A and B are shown apart, each in its own frame.
Chain A
Amino acid sequence: MEYLDSLTGFRLDGRRPNDMRQIRGEIGVVAKADGSALFEMGNTKVIAAVYGPREVQNKSQQVNNQALVRCEYSMANFSTGDRARRPKGDRRSTEISLVIRQTMETCILTHLMPRSQIDIFVQVLQADGGTRSACINAATLALADAGVPMCDIVTSCSAGYLSSTPLLDLNYIEDSAGGPDVTVGILAKMDKVTLLQMDAKLPIDIFENVMQLAIEGCKAIAQYIRGVLLENTKQLECCRGV
């Protein structure tokens, strides 16, 4: 299976190695949620909703000097190619919920809202590779929409290494090709890496520039997300006639 056309240098879906898929963000898709957002990266479509800060449900988990961040990742039955009944608590979604929670926890100023709870619910409508990154971007947008104080916006992107060239933002086919898959989550302005995951093996120097490529991707997404938030705030202001 040839992932990179040796003559033209294009990938299977016509992108160049360091091209990102078409990304689109939309704010306020769920009326009843405090904050909600839809994020699309190519065919991967994810909806995130934020409820909180609100009263802690079971007092045993209550933290008395900061907010408790909880996250649940769930995939729709129709999200992948083959239709499979997805039980709620399977291992993969628990692991991804944990990853998203840890990533978002670093950027939320939890000490401002002690003894409260913030729920982040992420629903994958369509999975075409890079669902983890799309979820984190959607969660960031939803938290901003919910007015939760954050030190910086977190963006995430994935990159891989196939037929000896680093590829940015893998889709499902490239992801399941068995090659390495590096997922990076960074705080855009503070330039700190909050999430770094890689499976399969890579020599250090190749890993270096694959990660660098992913960080470039995250920066581009951060710029796009800032644009969306700015646009949304402008819209709010003109509605309020200030």
Chain B
Amino acid sequence: MDGQSLPRNPLAYPPASPRRSLPFSSSRPPLHSSLLPYPDEVFIFLAPTAHPLRCLALWFPAAQPSAAPTYSRQRVAPPLLPSGYCGLVSSLRRLGWRPAAYCSSPPSRLRISLSHRRALVGSATGKRMVGLSEGEKRFIRGGIAQDLRTDGRQRLHYRPISVETGVIPQANGSARVRLGATDVIVSIKAELGKPHPLQPDKGKVAIFIDCSPTAAPMFEGRGGEELSTELSFALQRCLLGGRSGAGAGIDLSSLLIVEGKVCWDLYIDGLVVSSDGNLLDALAAAIKVALSNAGIPKVTVNLGASPNGQPDVDVSDEEFLQFDTSGVPVVVTLTKVGKHYIVDATSEEESQMSSAVSISVNRHGHICGLTKRGGAGLDPSVILDMISVAKHVGEQLMSLLDSEIAAAEASAEDQ
């Protein structure tokens, strides 16, 4: 599912356009209108495929300023081109540049419409983000300020999310969540273990996150270690609640078999396959879906065998009892860029973040965990404002995930 929610545009290059972006970064000129003082006429040309520069915008003082701003996107024959510029345009044509748009006396704040810009920008950002140029950084900040981000979303709008369950047959429960280009897999394994001496009446849950080098070359060897531990602790803080177990998203006492002697040890393993920002939300959603897909085998205990030693437990591998995931919270990360904050930031937008707050919200609207990462200080009132926004967005995400889980279970039944 390509998740291409934007209108298909005849001109648009697909995102997977010219396969090999050249080694040096394909920087594209910033089309942010605030740079254009008085744009009378704008001709936009698309580069020939192999050219490093993806597109070229030529500004002309219009021969005679036409009253109504005309804006055409089909194949353009510049009708009223000032004489001096005909030579330039025709020579561009010979070099393989194809005119893509013409706009005469555009409004002062020229913001080329999204679907079209996707044609310009879509293929222009190239695969590897080899450091953003100053123009691109301003382009991103400007977009967020106008509630119109580079890939067409509003500030509080998620990328297309796709969920699969049961991707790892050998695990008790597993899920794969794709959030735009971010792709994570979570697997849940239950093994028999001994409860913690301080909390004999509860099972144990351990969360380990691993950043695979396939996501980014810097995760090679021990490179991904620091980010992995940070993600693991943030998730533990959001899902396991206070030390006494109150407010835990996962009901630990349901993991108990024999108090003080035998319980289930739940190992939650996350793997980041491809990272394009917003890893924490994707992982939390994947954990929630994996838990709903998890089946803990039924257990029969015969205590009579050895009263003091380990009671022998036989695990039946037919009937499984489903996990109750209603209490599991979802994590919403609000990233502050400039004066506004956005949801589900891509890695480019995350590079522009001044601070980020990850808030985990459960079904009753209570906050089960909160982590403010990122440097710049925030006014306390802004944080409270963010919490209310996160609760509102959290509900939408929660309902979206529930429908995905239901759909996945339905498809699992009929297989």
Contact = CB atoms under 8 A, between A and B. Distances in A.
Interface of A: 28-34, 36, 43, 47-49, 51, 53-54, 72, 74, 76-78, 80-81, 83, 85, 88-89, 119, 121-123, 125-126, 145-147, 236, 239-240
B170 interface: yes
14 contacts: A30-B214, A31-B181, A32-B215, A32-B274, A36-B274, A77-B271, A81-B170, A89-B221, A123-B214, A125-B167, A125-B271, A126-B168, A147-B20, A239-B14
Contacts of A28: 16
B127 A121 contact: no
A89 B167 CA distance: 26
Interface in B92-123: none
A30 B14 contact: no
A135 B141 CA distance: 41
B312 to A, nearest CB: 20
Contacts of A36: 214, 274
B267 interface: yes
Contact of A78 (B189, B191, B215, B274): B189
Contact of A240 (B13, B168, B212, B269): B13
Interface in B1-55: 13-14, 16-20, 23, 49
B168 A83 contact: no
A85 B208 contact: yes
Interface residues of B, number: 43
Contacts of A51: 128, 217
Contacts of A53: 23
Contacts of B210: 76-77
B168 A125 contact: yes
B177 interface: no
Contacts of A119: 213, 217, 220
Contact of B216 (A32, A80, A240): A32
Contacts, number: 118
B316 to A, nearest CB: 18
B120 to A, nearest CB: 16
Given A126-B169, A239-B16, 10 more contacts: A32-B347, A72-B213, A77-B208, A78-B170, A80-B170, A83-B189, A121-B212, A121-B217, A236-B16, A240-B17
Contacts of B220: 72, 119, 121
A92 to B, nearest CB: 16
Among A28, A53, A77: residue with most chain B CB under 10 A: A77
Contacts of A29: 183, 273-274
A80 B169 CA distance: 11
B335 interface: no
Contact of B274 (A30, A88, A239): A30
Contacts of B170: 43, 78, 80-81, 126
A43 B169 contact: yes
B171 A78 contact: yes
Contacts of B174: 78
Contact of B191 (A34, A83, A89, A239): A83
B276 interface: yes
A89 to B, nearest CB: 8
A49 B214 CA distance: 5
Nearest to B180: A31
Contacts of A123: 212-214, 271, 273
B339 interface: no
B295 to A, nearest CB: 15
A213 B65 CA distance: 77
Listed from nearest, the 10 A-B pairs whose CB atoms lie closest are A31-B181, A78-B187, A49-B214, A121-B213, A30-B274, A239-B14, A147-B20, A77-B269, A123-B212, A83-B189
A126 B14 CA distance: 32
Contact of A125 (B14, B129, B185, B213): B185
Contacts of B189: 78, 83
A33 B214 contact: yes
A96 to B, nearest CB: 14
A233 B215 CA distance: 24
Interface string B135-156: 0000000000000000000000
Contacts of B14: 239-240
B222 interface: yes
